[in-house]
Structure 1
Amino acid sequence: MILDGWFWAGTVIGVLSFLTCVVMTAVRRHPADSSILSVAAVELFLLVYAGAAAFRQLGGQPLNGPGWEFWGYVLTALIVPVVAVGWAASDKTRWSNLVLAVVGPTIVVMLHRMQVIWFGQW
């Protein structure tokens, strides 16, 4: 399996989002703008990733796993940050920052699975 630049970029963004949200959970009593912006950065990365994946696949680079599974992961990953921000907008407590914190690690795990599907197993 190959962990390419897309994976590492997504990991850095996901970890930074996680750390930002955890710190804001300790500091703020309501959803912090920095937490929401960090999750928005994760969503922006995922949109670029999806576009690049479509471009790569249409350009002839094959998936080593099922296409439905890869694109299912992509679509699900795109929904996770939106749901978390929706939760934060409706729940004005400190814990909404913690809900936002879960987005980063979740996306990193999903990116790893997408890499496995794209490039194959070890």
Structure 2
Amino acid sequence: MIEWFTWAQIAVAVVAGLLAVALGLFGRTPDDLTMGATALVTVLLVVQVVVSLLAPAFGNTATGSALEFWVYLVTALIIPPLAIVWGLVDRTRWSTAILGVACLAVAVMLYRMYQIWFVQVA
């Protein structure tokens, strides 16, 4: 993991999540803005997978459980695409709120992955 990239991911996920939740509560249906923000969170997670695969080869290893880290990362990678599919199928304001909740859940999971990689001692 790269620390600055992790914090950037968390910031993007929080902004996207709060935006989508707010727009959903104001009655907006899923649109390019909320779907695009959730897609951006997904793309950043794919980049995180690549970084996490390559990091140990360059001496940047996790201090905590690698299995726990990868379970969090794979789960976080599944959540946003499922929320996007939900938003495409159910075109109501609650789908926009679901997109936001998915992004906020990813932000929490990224913070936990940060703790496992940098803080937690196995």
Q: TM-score, normalised by structure 1?
A: 0.88
Deviations 1:6-43 (A, max 9, x none): 22201210122113212321142x21221100000100
* Matched AA of 1:107: V
After TM superposition, the runs of 4+ consecutive aligned structure 1 residues lying more than 4 A away are none
* In structure 2, C-alpha distance between the alignment counterparts of 1:12 and 1:33, rounded to whole Å: 20
Aligned residue pairs total 119
* In structure 2, C-alpha distance between the alignment counterparts of 1:4 and 1:82, rounded to whole Å: 24
* In structure 2, C-alpha distance between the alignment counterparts of 1:121 and 1:68, rounded to whole Å: 13
* In structure 1, C-alpha distance between the alignment counterparts of 2:69 and 2:120, rounded to whole Å: 14
Q: TM-score, normalised by structure 2?
A: 0.88
Secondary structure of 2:36's counterpart equals helix
Kept after mapping to 1: 8 A contact 2:17/2:103: yes
Residue in 2 that maps onto 1:37: 36
Deviations 1:34-53 (A, max 9, x none): 11000001001111111111
Percent sequence identity is: 34
* In structure 1, C-alpha distance between the alignment counterparts of 2:102 and 2:70, rounded to whole Å: 19
Deviations 1:42-69 (A, max 9, x none): 0011111111111112323221112111
* In structure 1, C-alpha distance between the alignment counterparts of 2:6 and 2:93, rounded to whole Å: 30
Kept after mapping to 2: 8 A contact 1:20/1:38: no
* Matched AA of 2:41: V
Residue in 1 that maps onto 2:18: 19
Residue in 2 that maps onto 1:10: 9
CA RMSD for the aligned pairs? 1.8
* In structure 1, C-alpha distance between the alignment counterparts of 2:119 and 2:19, rounded to whole Å: 33
Secondary structure of 1:63's counterpart equals coil
Where structure 2 has 5 or more consecutive residues not aligned to the other structure, the ranges are: none
Residue in 2 that maps onto 1:50: 49
